[in-house]
Amino acid sequence: MLNGLEAAFFYLFAFIAVASAFMVISARNPVHSVLYLILTFFNAAGLFLLTGAEFLAMILLVVYVGAVAVLFLFVVMMLDVDFAELKSGALQYAPIGALVGLILAAELIVVTGGYAFAPQLATAVAKPTPDIATRTNTAALGDILYTDYIFYFQVAGLILLVAMIGAIVLTLRHKEGVKRQSISAQVARTPETGMEIKKVETGKGI
């Protein structure tokens, strides 16, 4: 059971997470929706921290807040979609949404209520090794990721490399007439090559 400070923080994070999740779908301005989504992610990360999964918490912030949510923000700002019009009819579907939600909740209750753990489960499930008290999540993951799972890790890296090459091959275009930086040429500029001094006679142009 939760108690004391831990309970207080749990309810704080959980309440803000649920409230901001509600705001994500009810905010009028899509940019506000994305900002509320980021707030939801932060609170979910806080919940992870409370359970001792600090690695997941940080990954959630780095990946979802740092990359995915910012991408959403870009998309929302760059695409000219009239979200207000899209949402105009949303409220009339609320009863159906509530019904679906109720059915899902009922099913979940039935499933979890009738669920019995297998007797051998306690021994079969691997205990968190090493103990959280002696080694942090991140270090423990690193211990096996770069040893036992080095093969999978490297293949996953190759897949990401292919994705990167593919994106560049299919989309990068070298446009003519674009001024590009050439560091060596720019640094090697001298007053002699960069300037041309002319004497201008009085009353005449160049």
Q: Rule CB under 8 A: say whether 148 interacts with other proteins.
A: yes
Smallest gap, in angstroms, from Cβ of residue 28 to other proteins? 34
- Alpha carbon 110 to its chain's center: 33
Q: Rule CB under 8 A: say whether 162 interacts with other proteins.
A: yes
Smallest gap, in angstroms, from Cβ of residue 162 to other proteins? 5
Which of 126, 132, 133, 163 lies closest to 148, judged by CA? 126
Smallest gap, in angstroms, from Cβ of residue 40 to other proteins? 27
Query: In the stretch 165-194, what mask flags binding to other proteins with x, by CB under 8 A?
Result: xx-xxx------------------------
Which of 40, 67, 45, 64 lies closest to 56, judged by CA? 45
Q: Mark the segment that binds other proteins (CB under 8 A) among 34-42, 95-103, 148-156, 196-204.
A: 148-156
Q: Rule CB under 8 A: say whether 117 interacts with other proteins.
A: no
CA distance 96 to 153: 44
Length of the chain: 206
Smallest gap, in angstroms, from Cβ of residue 37 to other proteins? 25
CA distances from 74 to 37, 68, 107, 172 (A): 14, 10, 38, 20
CA distance 145 to 132: 17
Q: Which residues contact other proteins by CB under 8 A?
A: 148, 150-152, 155-156, 158-159, 161-163, 165-166, 168-170
